[in-house]
Amino acid sequence: MDPITQQTLLASAGGKQDPVYVDDVFSTYLYNSYSTANRTINNGLDLDGKGGMVWLKKRNGSGDNLLYDTERYAVSQNTRLRSNTSGGEATGYGNDFGGFNSNGFDVKFNMNANNGTYASWSFRKQKGFFDVVTYTGNGVAGRTVAHNLGSVPGMIMIKRTNASENWIVGHRSITLGSGRLMLDDNTGNSNSNASQYWNSTAATSSVFTVGSHVAVNGNGSTYVAYIFAHDEPVFGTDEDESIIKCGQFEGYDLNEVNVGFEPQWLMVKSIDSGGGNWEMYDCMRGMSGYEDHFSNVLRPNATTAEYVDKGIRATATGFQVGTNSSLKNDTYIYVAIRRSHKPPEVGTDVFNISLSAINTEYTTGFVPDISWTKSRSNGSYDWYCGTRLLAVPGYSGTSYSFAMNSTGAGQNNGSYPWDITTNKFYTSEVADNPITYTFKRTPGFFDVITYKGASSYPITRYHSLGVAPEMIWLKLLDHTTNPWTIYHSLYGSDSYLRINDTSAVYTDHQLSQWYLTTPTDSYFKVGTHGGYTNLNGKLHIAYLWATLPGISKVGSYTGTGSTQTINCGFTTGARFVMIKRSDSSSHWFVFDTARGITQSASPWIALNQTFADQTGSGNNFIDPHSSGFTVDTTLSAINASGGTYIFLAIA
């Protein structure tokens, strides 16, 4: 990239003082409709002030793919485009879309119909990511159209708006400027007469060129172009990350495509002569968590409802074609958008505690990635654990769930409360005063990965934590009687603990669990111990934790037998504290401020047991402190003189 372009991109992102994240410019927002009223979709994007495009699609039934952008909306508010048809801009649909806001957009009652489920994808204008331009054709080949992307486009979609013509798509993998696809059609790439569309001229960081074809440059006709960037590393805290990539891959079983980040949204299309449908995947609708699981798919070129396919699963470094996927034997292009990577400002941005009653929907304040739920008053209920990566596509509210306190296998639980649509959660699986913890995957704080074991070893497993994990909780899911295996940086890669029992730390010098390899900021290794961390062909899940200043603390302390403060670097104290004595037998104690961390009472519950809440004055083991928490007891399990303790605290 030349220095001028680099400076322009950096300035657009606000320089080092004001970095831009993918969270600021892109959103997948799902909603379920239970009325015919108008509705505001708050996705946090300033579409009104910055400009951009919103793409809407009904999921549970037939419906058009509707596209609205700020450039056309400023001229006529009752127009829409449909990616599944060659038809021009349609007017008289004022009851579909309600306009753009500083924090999202509005839909009207046609797009909020009773018993409907909907997907929306919002693309905010931003140099290095996305732009929208409109223009009037002149019919002369070689017409240039200026854009504000600030970099060479990775993909351009053009639509004639005043009459019927196919959507014309150029992509860098088919030589943007010569090849041609159609968004409203399933045919493959065509070089025939491509010069009529792109004038055989490559796009630049400031213009693209069109030919004389009426689909892109009819004299007096009007057009809109949606322009997507490729691999501009100007985003993120250090302004050195790209958030969008456009590339090509081969469709065969388990082909892994490395794009350099974990995607949250993918659009793919066969470019072979036989063609194939355009397909869209995203992590909100259930992008597969492991290679032979299913994903939900919507098609830009079709009105059909969402369908389930073993198509794509996201990985920490890109995506993988699923076993028995419909994506087979062809060459495909893709557009991939990075997963959320904006640092939290406070602990409530990534962690929530709820004491909501059974069958109560509540707001977490963020889109959760995992949950733990336990009855507080019934000692016979397990901990119910679920994760977005294992939500079952095609079954609303269903998740592959498992128990924290058990060695048992996971299961597809039809009553598990995953509302994977927004930042709302629904507790239905346990009665008797449930407590629910929800967590968001966030670089530096917490990550989740799933994988299948292999017959060889070691296996390198990549993650998106962005820093070396200080604690890893790993569980084999689809096999019975296998315990959790816990890594903690205090003990290193030759030791492990178990969440489901009270035992002290185990020593492992046989390459069994972590292959005697210290985890890094991008991967960890698992070894030979079949049934624990690497059972061939079986599904595993891993939670990865780290210390994020002001948000979380993974640490350890030595007991004193008298009151001591555990400084976590917080300013308003810890809302969640988990403590385990690691040099001797002890429970995995959990405390939180929702049930109370006070000078007089600190109820606890154990991750390794089905215990109900343990309350009363005799259970006041920790006290609040602004920097973290205080242990004020001589109890062996919490603060025995000379004892070793590990802990996780969240502000």
In angstroms, the CA 565 to CA 626 distance is 10
What's residue 15's pLDDT?
Answer: 45
Q: Which domain holds residue 487?
A: 446-545
Q: Are 179 and 205 found together in one domain?
A: yes
Over residues 550-573, the pLDDT tens digits come to 999 999 999 999 999 999 999 999
Tokens of 160: 């004639």
Q: Are 115 and 151 found together in one domain?
A: no
Domain boundary among 82, 106, 124: 124
Q: Are 420 and 473 found together in one domain?
A: no
DSSP for 66-78, written as a single string: EEEEHHHHTT-TT
For residue 10, being part of any structural domain is answered with no
Q: Are 119 and 25 found together in one domain?
A: yes
What's residue 357's pLDDT?
Answer: 75
Residue 367 and residue 440 in contact, taking contact as beta carbons nearer than 8 Å = yes
For residue 3, being part of any structural domain is answered with no
Q: Are 507 and 526 found together in one domain?
A: yes
Over residues 255-302, the pLDDT tens digits come to 999 999 999 999 999 999 888 999 999 988 888 666 666 788 999 999
What's residue 474's pLDDT?
Answer: 93
For residue 371, being part of any structural domain is answered with yes
For residue 13, being part of any structural domain is answered with no
Domain boundary among 193, 228, 263: 228
Q: Are 511 and 604 found together in one domain?
A: no
For residue 236, being part of any structural domain is answered with no
Tokens of 162: 């005043």
For residue 410, being part of any structural domain is answered with yes
> Residues 6 or more apart from 331 whose CB is under 8 A from it?
248, 249, 250, 251, 270, 271, 272
Cis peptide before 458 (omega within 30 of 0): yes
Q: Are 148 and 195 found together in one domain?
A: yes
In angstroms, the CA 321 to CA 253 distance is 6
For residue 239, being part of any structural domain is answered with no
What's residue 646's pLDDT?
Answer: 98
C-alpha torsion sign, points 386, 346, 43, 69 = negative
Residues in the chain with pLDDT values less than 70: 1-17, 288-293, 358-360, 391-401, 407-431, 479-481, 529-531, 617
Over residues 103-128, the pLDDT tens digits come to 999 999 888 887 888 999 999 999 99
For residue 9, being part of any structural domain is answered with no
What's residue 457's pLDDT?
Answer: 86
Domain boundary among 545, 565, 599: 545
Q: Are 364 and 390 found together in one domain?
A: yes
* Total domains, the chain: 6
Q: Are 486 and 539 found together in one domain?
A: yes
Q: Are 541 and 577 found together in one domain?
A: no
Q: Are 582 and 507 found together in one domain?
A: no
What's residue 177's pLDDT?
Answer: 78
Which of 450, 494, 517, 637 minimizes the C-alpha distance to 645?
637
Q: Are 582 and 634 found together in one domain?
A: yes
